[in-house]
Structures are given as structure tokens and as C-alpha cells.
């Protein structure tokens, strides 16, 4: 057990270390265009979001669940008349997402390099297991992490468990991520520091109110400021 106040730093992956949401948006545009003769774009998008929300409890987060939700929405908006060719295009779009090259975000690699050695670094991500393993391998960032946790959801209990396993408990840990709902609020609830690094694109189901009156909450425009912030927290404690 370290005497230091902060020993372990958790990083979200999608839209924190590499691009993710933009691929969902592009695929959604393609999906809406495919069904263009069956309704307005906003209406079809709305039905897709409803399907995703309904299906989260069955499929969890990730591209496979998104693909199934697109198929379900196509059946719904065509009132059961969706041609097999359209289903085939939806499946192909999902597979293309699963094969898309990983684009790491600016400053991700250098930030992790600067912190490694001094802190235990843990990748904490949700989504399809296979897809997240692929992206981590392709990103070239895998070796920097002391631990990798691909979880089905991110709750306060998740952070308590992960930071107990890989560090000195949630109280001595920090979570860094782009989602207030998944990365920030539950990490704060577990007693950790939480650093919100917003991404221009955030999925509607990841929105949440910004926390107020939380001394351990910080917000940064990008990852450049993370190392200085962590150093400052170390001095203040
Ligand atoms: Mg994310």
C-alpha cells in the first residue's frame, strides 16, 4: 500500500484515447439514407436511439448491439417489409465498423508515456470484448497499461472493484474519460478523482449533468493538461 494520495489512473478508451463515436455517426447516416423512402431522417434516427436504449440490457454496449438495433429499426420503419438486400447492407456496415483502423486521439500516447512508471495505468472500457481487444492491439498502446478491464457497464461498484484489483482502492485512484455518465459520475461516487475530457461527439445515452461541489472533479479541454493536473494534485495532498 503506497503512502501517496494518488497511485492509480484509469483511462476510458473510446473517444478518450481513440476515435469511436464518429464511426457510429457515419454509419447511422448511411443507415438513415438506406431507409430514406420510409421516413424523415430525424424520425428514423429517433427510432434507432429508442431501439438502442431498449436493447442495452440484452446486448450491452458496442457495434454488434448497434447493428442488431439498426436491423430492428429497419423492420419497424418498413412495417416488416425490409428487403433482404437492405439487411445485408446493414450487416456490411456493422462489419466495416468492426474492421475500421484505429485512430488514436492527439496527445494520448505521449500522456500515457509520461505517466507510466510513476503511476499504475489501467484501461477501463466497455463494449464488445473482441472489438475492444482488437482496437487496443491496433492502437499500439496496450503495453503501457498495467491492467486492462473490458467491462459490461461502468458503475461505482465497477470502479471500486477495478481499482481494488489493480491499485490501492478507489480513494487513491483517478478516472479519466469523455463520458460524464460512465466515466465521471460513478468514479466520483466510488471516491476517486475524475477528470472529464469532453469529446466533440458524445452519444445521446452518455449525457449527464456536470457534477457540482465535488472537490475531486476536474475538467480539461484535452489530455495535454492531465500530467500537470496530476502533479498538482500530488502536491496538494
Ligand atoms: Mg468514452
Q: 13 C-alpha to center of ligand 1: Å? A: 6
Q: 79 C-alpha to center of ligand 1: Å? A: 34
pLDDT at 234: 81
pLDDT at 160: 98
pLDDT at 236: 76
Q: 128 C-alpha to center of ligand 1: Å? A: 13
Q: 114 C-alpha to center of ligand 1: Å? A: 21
Residue 172 in domain: yes
Q: The pTM is what? A: 0.93
Which stretches of the chain drop beneath a pLDDT of 70?
A: 1-2, 237
pLDDT at 2: 63
Closest CA to 191 of 170, 176, 175, 213: 170
> Packing angle between helix 63-77 and helix 21-34, nearest 10 degrees?
20
> Domain boundary residue among 99, 115, 137?
99
Q: 214 C-alpha to center of ligand 1: Å? A: 21
Q: 125 C-alpha to center of ligand 1: Å? A: 8
Q: 156 C-alpha to center of ligand 1: Å? A: 16
Residue 168 in domain: yes
Residue 3 in domain: no
Buried b (16+ CB within 10 A) or exposed e, 50-82: ebbeeeeeebbbbbbbbbbbbbbbbebbeeeeb
Structural domain that includes position 51: 21-99
Q: 196 C-alpha to center of ligand 1: Å? A: 10
Query: Are 232 and 209 members of one domain?
Result: yes
Q: 1 C-alpha to center of ligand 1: Å? A: 29
Tallying the residues shown for the chain, one arrives at: 237
> Domain boundary residue among 78, 99, 120?
99
> Domain boundary residue among 99, 116, 145?
99
Q: 16 C-alpha to center of ligand 1: Å? A: 5
Cell 439487411, residue located = 87
pLDDT at 94: 97
Q: What is the pLDDT of residues 68-123, one digit of tens each?
A: 999 999 999 999 999 999 999 999 999 999 999 999 999 999 999 999 999 999 99
Amino acid at each position: 500500500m503506497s503512502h501517496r494520495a494518488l497511485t492509480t489512473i484509469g483511462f476510458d478508451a473510446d473517444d478518450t484515447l481513440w476515435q469511436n463515436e464518429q464511426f457510429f455517426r457515419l454509419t447511422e447516416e448511411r443507415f438513415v439514407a438506406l431507409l430514406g423512402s420510409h421516413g424523415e431522417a430525424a424520425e428514423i434516427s429517433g427510432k434507432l436511439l429508442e431501439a438502442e436504449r431498449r436493447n442495452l440490457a440484452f446486448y450491452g454496449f458496442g457495434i454488434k448491439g448497434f447493428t442488431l438495433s439498426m436491423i430492428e429499426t429497419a423492420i419497424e420503419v418498413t412495417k416488416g417489409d425490409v428487403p433482404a438486400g437492405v439487411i445485408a447492407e446493414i450487416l456490411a456496415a456493422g462489419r466495416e465498423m468492426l474492421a475500421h483502423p484505429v485512430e488514436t486521439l492527439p496527445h494520448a500516447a505521449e500522456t500515457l508515456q509520461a505517466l507510466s512508471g510513476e503511476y499504475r495505468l489501467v484501461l477501463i472500457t466497455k463494449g464488445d470484448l473482441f472489438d475492444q481487444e482488437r482496437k487496443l492491439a491496433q492502437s499500439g498502446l496496450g503495453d503501457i497499461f498495467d491492467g486492462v478491464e473490458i467491462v459490461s457497464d461502468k458503475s461505482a461498484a465497477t470502479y471500486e472493484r477495478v481499482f481494488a484489483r489493480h491499485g490501492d482502492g478507489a480513494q487513491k485512484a483517478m478516472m479519466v474519460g469523455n463520458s460524464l455518465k460512465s466515466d465521471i459520475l460513478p468514479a466520483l461516487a466510488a471516491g476517486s478523482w475524475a477528470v472529464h475530457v469532453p469529446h466533440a461527439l458524445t452519444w445521446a445515452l452518455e449525457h449527464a449533468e456536470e457534477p457540482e461541489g465535488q472537490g475531486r472533479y476536474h475538467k480539461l479541454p484535452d489530455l495535454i493538461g492531465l500530467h500537470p493536473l496530476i502533479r498538482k494534485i500530488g502536491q496538494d495532498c
